[in-house]
Amino acid sequence: MLDNLVEFASYWWFRYLMVTELYMVEKWERITIHVIFMVLFCVFWYFNYSVLLSLAGLIGPSASMADIIPGVQGQGIKVT
């Protein structure tokens, strides 16, 4: 069972390296690229979680722009 799982993961890792063409670079370059991708992924995740999720929670049928965007004076325009 464990051998099948290791073989499956190894196969998909090999496919990932072939598709992204990371098999051609040296090991330190591959690690650097993976770290950069992971940092970018974490930054995008945090932005989506903290900013977009909080804005999406404010949008509703009766929300005005003053409720959604702080610092904007309400002018009676409703978002529908």
> What are the mean pLDDT values of the chain's consecutive 10-residue runs (80 residues total)?
94 94 92 96 91 72 61 56
Q: Where are the domains of the chain?
A: 2-68
pTM over 0.85: no
pLDDT number for residue 51: 80
Contact 68/58 with Cβ under 8 angstroms? yes
Distances (CA, A) of 55 to 24, 30, 48, 51, 65: 43, 37, 10, 6, 11
pLDDT number for residue 32: 96
pLDDT number for residue 66: 60
